[in-house]
A = this chain, B = another copy of it.
C-alpha cells in the first residue's frame, strides 16, 4: 500500500485536526499537550510542525472546521424557509440547537477568543457562521421589515446574546424548560425589532 505524497500529506493533516478537535473539545486547549495529540494521531511532533506553525495554528484549523460546520447547518435550516423573517428565526433557532454540543462550545466559544485573540476569532466567525445572521438582518432592513439602522451592531448584539445563551443552557444547573424559555425570550427580542404596522 504505497500512497502518493499528496495523499499521505492530506491524511496526516486530517488525523492531526481530528485528534486535536477531540482532545481540545474534551479537556480544553490549555490542558492538552502536543505529545498527546501526536501520539493519538500516530505521528510525531515533527509532523505537526511540518503542517502547522504551532499549537495555536492547529487549534485555528480545528476552529475553522467547527465554524464551517456550524455555518452550514444554520444556513441549511434557514434556507428551508421561504420568508426572510422566518429564515432569520429558523437560523437563530438552528444555531441555538446546533451549538448545544458542549464540544463545539468549548472550542468555538470558550477557548477560541482566548487562544487566537478576539479579533481573529471574530474574523473567522463572521466568515462562517455569523455571516448568515448579518445577511439575514441586512435583507430584512432592506425590505423594511425592521428599522433601517446599521445592522453591524445589531448583528454582534444578537450573536453575542445567542453565544452566551447556549453556554448557559449547557451548564449542569440548567433546567429542562430553560431551552424553550430562552428560545421564547429570543423570539421576543427579535419581534421587538419589527417596525410597527
Contacts and interface: CB of A to CB of B under 8 A. Distances in A.
Interface of A: 28-30, 105, 109-111, 113-115, 117-119, 122, 147, 149-150, 152-154, 156-165, 167-168, 171-172, 178, 181-182, 184-186, 188-189, 191-193
Contact of A165 (B119, B157, B182): B157
Contacts of A28: 114
Contacts of A105: 118
A185 B146 CA distance: 11
Contacts of A185: 149-150, 153-154, 157
10 tightest CB-CB pairs across the interface, nearest first? A192-B192, A160-B164, A114-B114, A161-B161, A153-B182, A157-B161, A154-B185, A156-B168, A153-B185, A160-B160
A100 to B, nearest CB: 14
Contact of A118 (B122, B159, B167, B178): B167
Contacts of A111: 114
Contact of A157 (B114, B147, B182): B182
A150 B174 CA distance: 13
Given A149-B185, A156-B164, A161-B157, A171 B113 contact: no
A153 B165 CA distance: 7
Contacts of A149: 181, 184-185, 188
A195 to B, nearest CB: 10
28 contacts: A30-B114, A109-B113, A109-B118, A110-B114, A113-B114, A114-B115, A119-B171, A122-B167, A147-B188, A149-B184, A149-B188, A150-B181, A152-B181, A153-B182, A153-B185, A154-B185, A156-B182, A157-B164, A157-B185, A157-B189, A158-B161, A160-B161, A161-B161, A161-B164, A188-B192, A189-B193, A192-B192, A192-B193
